[in-house]
Structure 1
Amino acid sequence: MDVLNPEDNSYDDYYNADELEDFGLCKKTHVKEFSIAFLPVFYSVTCALSIIANLTLLILFIRYKTLRKVLPLHMVISDILFTLSLPFWAVYASSEWIFGDHSCKAISLIYMVSLYSSNLFVASQSLQRFLDIACVVSTTSIISSPKRNIIMCILVWLLSVLGAAAHVSFVATQKFHGQYICTHHFDDKPGWKIYLRFQMNILGFVVPFLVLLFCTVRLPCVAVARSTLKVFRHDIGFTVMFFLLWFPYSIVIFLHALQDLHIFYACTTNIHFDFAIHVTECIAFMHVFINPVLYISLNKKVWRRLRNACKTPREYLLEESNSSSIISTLDGAIELKAVQRYQAHGLSVSAERPGNFLPEPM
């Protein structure tokens, strides 16, 4: 699902005869066969894993009020919205677009809004933690933390909707070689295609990654307690994972933009880029279930609640009884040591004063 064309396996580039190499057609049948065989399976597996991971985290947020935070909750909502679009792309990858023109625009809108917002919410969490710690250290804060989180949420959704609107305005369905495709149609406006590729790179990768990197680098400078060092481990985990998931995809999008500028024009290069966009895109889309899993694993409170929720009543009672027996054993040991200490103290006093139970002579 190329960011500019919601499903690559049905694109004009796979069938057209515009690209020539040594006066021959540039055929992309291998790319089409790969996408038909691989993408439906990948989208289905990713959808299933995402539903499990995100619903697990969402249930924990609903069940335990102490775990509920604004920005992580919105990140989960964004990932769930992204997950809802995957079944449509899986069906599209296996055949053609069968859901109509209005659904093409609606699903593309949900897909792009959730893609942008998910990455921005990951960055916003690090920024929120950094600002909270910085304000505590400096003891100065113009805006309270709850209000700041609400402002961040509004800005993220607003930027995501505006960024997605530019994409959706060019999305439509059309019949091509007897099949309906849902894709971008730039007609005589090729500059918009290049612009949207750079917008995807800047808003989808560069801005979130720079925010994550800044917070990760600056946090040790303001961290003065162990709790803030724990937050540092949380931030560096998300920063590294975000880079591994999205950097390859961003590089390939940038190369596609250069190809649109006719810097690369060889047929073999074009085919390699198409394979690369599929592979790196699939890596990037794994964020939809990696984000909640990473959040749970790096947050000890959330992990502890999940671990306790997964235990059976018998295991829970057994653990409680074991912990109680350990505590009672420790208490007994403490009492025994106290008695022994008291007896030793009494013996030492008796040795110094044999008649200590009688009044001393005047």
Structure 2
Amino acid sequence: MTNNSTDGDVEYLCDFMDFSTVNAAFFIVIFIISITGNSLLLVFLVYQGNLKNATNLFVLNLACSDLVFTVTLPFWAVEHLHHWVFSDLGCKLLTAAYFVGLYSSIILLTAITVDRFITVVLNKWPSKPVRERCAVGVCAAAWIISFAASLSDAINVKESANGEELSCESDDLELKLTYYLQVSLLFFLPLTIIIFCYSAILKTVLQFSNRKRYRTVVGVLCIVAAFFVCWGPHHVLLFVETLYVPKGCDAKESWYIAYNICRILAYSHCCMNPLLYMLSQNLRGHLLNFLYHDNIKGRNMDRAAPKHKAQYATEMLELQCK
């Protein structure tokens, strides 16, 4: 990347490291892993069938938000490798999908944290049906808020000429400032809530002297660490960018490299959630049970070769109903 920079009255050429290919490669890798992981998680949750459960409902919606965010990555990869070729309408729609996925993921993760805080620390949920209805309402609110918050970003962004190439961005400095402040608010406020809730959860969990305590602590720390490590540096840079303008080629290059690395790290969070939730003892147990029964069923089908398979499946269903 070559850029003109001024230092005082002297104008000179800045030669930056080109991250276009690196960004595109990482975006495609993240896309493949996230699509695979989140799709498998969705299939597993639907197959399990207990979608009224509050935790399962939150995880289901979080997987959907990660998928919405993920489907935009190949388009940004093409932009990095070539330039924007998906029209102004495509620019707006993909920008909206990007922010809907981002905002809903953060809101849902915060909701999961608050749910665990109420369950573990306060222990004040009146009943299971009340918790499930609250979970449905919170998930619906998360999507509504995300759509509403993404509208301004989608409206203000447009296909614009960048030299001889087209790009999908907003050229208005005031709009960029509003965007940075909005994104920062929708990160730092949830992060504060998450840190407070998980601190209280850890304090409560550590009071119990059993093996389950250590598994819970590790699970909590993994979720918090993944959220903070992935999105933290990116949002800190966005916030600092509203206050700091790098001067000189060295400062601009350092900022450019840091921004690209932090963005790749932030985007990778969408493929980590399935791994983190599969580490949960409950989900892991259901998955092993699911695979075990499928394996046993397959063996029994092979042993029943003289029978018609459809007849055998009917018999097995009747036995299970009894």
In 1, distance between residues paired with 2:147 and 2:190?
A: 16
Tell me what 1:207 maps to.
Answer: 189
Alpha-carbon distance change, 235 to 258 in structure 1, aligned in 2, over 3 angstroms:
same
Amino acid at match of 1:306: L
Q: CA RMSD in A?
A: 3.0
Query: Could you list the per-position Cα deviations for residues 32-67 of structure 1 after superposition, in whole angstroms to 9, with x for gaps in the alignment?
Result: xx2222011111111011111111111110111247
1:250-329, aligned counterparts within 5 Å?
Answer: 250-259=235-244, 262=245, 264-297=246-279, 299-309=280-290, 313=295
In 2, distance between residues paired with 1:139 and 1:36?
A: 50
TM (normalized to structure 2)? Answer: 0.80
Check whether the contact 1:126–1:235 (CA below 8 A) recurs between aligned residues. Answer: no
Check whether the contact 2:153–2:179 (CA below 8 A) recurs between aligned residues. Answer: yes
Check whether the contact 2:121–2:200 (CA below 8 A) recurs between aligned residues. Answer: no
In 1, distance between residues paired with 2:108 and 2:125?
A: 26
Alpha-carbon distance change, 196 to 227 in structure 1, aligned in 2, over 3 angstroms:
farther
Give the CA deviation at 1:115: 1.0
Query: Could you list the per-position Cα deviations for residues 128-148 of structure 1 after superposition, in whole angstroms to 9, with x for gaps in the alignment?
Result: 122233553x5758x921121
Tell me what 1:61 maps to.
Answer: 45
Alpha-carbon distance change, 152 to 293 in structure 1, aligned in 2, over 3 angstroms:
same
Tell me what 2:171 maps to.
Answer: 185
Tell me what 1:127 maps to.
Answer: 114
Alpha-carbon distance change, 309 to 196 in structure 1, aligned in 2, over 3 angstroms:
same
- Stretches of structure 2 that go unaligned for 5 or more consecutive residues are 300-322
Q: Which protein has the larger Cα radius of gyration, Structure 1 or Structure 2?
A: 1
Alpha-carbon distance change, 199 to 313 in structure 1, aligned in 2, over 3 angstroms:
same
Matched, 1:218 2:200: yes
In 2, distance between residues paired with 1:43 and 1:91?
A: 10
Check whether the contact 1:43–1:86 (CA below 8 A) recurs between aligned residues. Answer: yes
Which of the residues 146, 152, 166 maps onto 1:160? Answer: 146
TM (normalized to structure 1)? Answer: 0.72
Amino acid at match of 1:35: F
Percent of paired sites with the same residue: 21
Tell me what 1:345 maps to.
Answer: none
In 1, distance between residues paired with 2:59 and 2:116?
A: 12
Alpha-carbon distance change, 64 to 150 in structure 1, aligned in 2, over 3 angstroms:
same
Matched, 1:94 2:81: yes
Tell me what 1:196 maps to.
Answer: 179
Give the CA deviation at 1:271: 2.2
- Stretches of structure 1 that go unaligned for 5 or more consecutive residues are 1-8, 318-362
In 1, distance between residues paired with 2:140 and 2:13?
A: 46
